[in-house]
Amino acid sequence: MLYLSELLMQHHDLQNFDELVKLVKQQTETGERFFRMDVIPPFPDTPENWEDRLEAAFY
């Protein structure tokens, strides 16, 4: 299972929400089947529908 908190800790160089979306898309190639959004992304440009956007990027 892929956790958003672990992803953010491993890639602390992310600058904005769009970079996070791209990273989540890349993680789908590793074979992860489940994605848990256990924290709110800490970026100023995080949209209100951030959960929907990250879920769409993962699936």
Q: Is the pLDDT of residue 35 over 90?
A: yes
Whole-angstrom Cα distance, residue 59 to residue 44? 24
Average pLDDT over residues 5-25: 97
pLDDT value at residue 28: 87
Token pair in block for residue 59:
């699936």
Angle at 45 between CA 36 and CA 30, to 5 degrees: 35
For the purposes of burial, counting CB atoms within 10 Å of the CB of 37, is it exposed (0-12), middle (13-18) or buried (19 or more)? middle
Token pair in block for residue 42:
């800490």
Q: How far is CA 46 from the centre of its chain?
A: 11
pTM listed for this prediction: 0.91
